[in-house]
Amino acid sequence: MKPGAASKLVSMQRAIDEHVPSGSMVTMGAQLEQMIPFAAGHEIIRQGRLDLTLVGPISDILFDQMIGAGCVSRVMAAWVGNASAGMGYCFRRAVEMSIPRAIETVDHTNLTLALALHAAAMGVPFMPTYTTLGSDLLKRNGNLREFSSPVNEERLVAVRALRPDVAILHVQRADAAGNAQLWGNLGVAIDAARASRKVIVVAEEIVAPEVIASDPNRTLIPGFLVAAVVHEPWGAHPSPVQGYYGRDHAFFHEYHDQTRELDGFERWIKRWVAEVSSRDSYFKQLGDSRADNLRVREHALSVPVDFGF
């Protein structure tokens, strides 16, 4: 550690306990199908949080699980379901039948959600766009307002800034001060970190500050924005983490098949969340052979860049 850079390393249990109270607006799944913070979501479920507003472009099955567990009163997202299998059944039950509780849905598109976070990251009240003109999303989402451009006569949509209470971002590596490096597709991760009041970084690896400093272009979340750092290897399973493990496609399909009915979901959440006190026991339940199949088969290292002078 550099002098003055206090360690923010805490357990997942403590990070959620301290930074994600009931009623929070939480953004997760910022990198779309990669690096979804499932371990964090499961800890939120175990700690029984209520009335959360979930914010994300798509979330694959994480939002579905948190909705099914009753943690959520509102979803502001572009897409809620199961990316490779289709519908999210908990999302459907909540919207259609208020099971386990009613949720409000605020339908965005990927672009409007990105712009909402970008506006907050930029510190302005809205960002203009053409998308959603003519759509029913524009009519039904109060955060999208049509206006006339002040510099020409065009019609535009103002996307209201969205400032979540906390962003939970899974990354490949970070130092203990929260300087976080991630690579691959970034989705809305950078804007999510800057837009949110607090950031929890969940990292596959904790590395020395010298490692981070060796490649500052790859540091996409500067540590001073970060409230807590959690070291949680495999914390994004079943979603992939480039360079660490692949996507567990079968897991998504099993979830799809097993959660079609409410009692099936209740069994699923008991097995994979409620009765799994930590990621270690989750990983044991997953089994070595399944994990081995997801490990990187062939590493593909980039060529180092030269910061010398």
Partner 1 sequence: MTTRTPSGTATGRFSRSELMVAAAAREIHDGELVFVGMRLPMIAFGVAKRTHAPGATGLFENGVIRDTPAPELLYTMGDPPNLLKASYCGDMLSVMSLLQQGRVNVGFLGAAEVDRFGNLNTTWGNRNGQQVRLPGSGGACDIASLSQRTVVLLEHNRQRLVSRVGHITSPGNGTGYGWRREQGLPLRSGPAAIITTMGVLRYGEDGEAYLASVHPGVSVEDVLSNTGWTLRVADDLDATPEPDAAELAVIREIDPDHYWTKS
Q: Which residues bind partner 1 (CB under 8 A)?
A: 31-34, 57-58, 60, 77-81, 83-84, 86-88, 91-92, 95-96, 105, 107-112, 114-115, 118, 129-137, 146, 154-156, 183-191, 239-240, 242, 246-247, 249, 252, 300
Nearest residue (CB) to partner 1, 10 versus 36: 36
What residues contact residue 84 under an 8 Å CB cut-off, 6+ apart? 249, 252, 253
Tally of CB atoms within 10 A around 212: 20
Query: What is the nearest approach in angstroms of partner 1 to the Cβ of residue 43?
Result: 23
Query: What is the nearest approach in angstroms of partner 1 to the Cβ of residue 171?
Result: 14
CB 32, CB 57: distance < 8 Å: yes
Residue 62 three-state SS: helix
What residues contact residue 130 under an 8 Å CB cut-off, 6+ apart? 156, 157
Nearest residue (CB) to partner 1, 112 versus 179: 112
Query: What is the nearest approach in angstroms of partner 1 to the Cβ of residue 268?
Result: 19
Nearest residue (CB) to partner 1, 88 versus 223: 88
Residue 214 C-beta-side C-alpha neighbours within 13 Å: 10
User: Could you tell me if residue 189 is left (phi over 0), alpha (psi between -120 and 50 degrees) or otherwise beta?
Assistant: alpha
Distance in angstroms (rounded) separating the CA atoms of residues 259 and 278: 22
Nearest residue (CB) to partner 1, 146 versus 275: 146
Picking from 170, 216, 225, 231, the residue whose alpha carbon sits closest to that of residue 193 is 225
What residues contact residue 26 under an 8 Å CB cut-off, 6+ apart? 20, 44, 52, 53, 54, 55, 164, 165, 166, 167, 168
Nearest residue (CB) to partner 1, 252 versus 282: 252
Query: What is the nearest approach in angstroms of partner 1 to the Cβ of residue 16?
Result: 25
Query: What is the nearest approach in angstroms of partner 1 to the Cβ of residue 129?
Result: 7
Nearest residue (CB) to partner 1, 297 versus 309: 297
Query: What is the nearest approach in angstroms of partner 1 to the Cβ of residue 196?
Result: 16
Picking from 229, 205, 232, 233, the residue whose alpha carbon sits closest to that of residue 6 is 229
Residue 139 three-state SS: helix
Query: What is the nearest approach in angstroms of partner 1 to the Cβ of residue 259?
Result: 15
Nearest residue (CB) to partner 1, 145 versus 155: 155
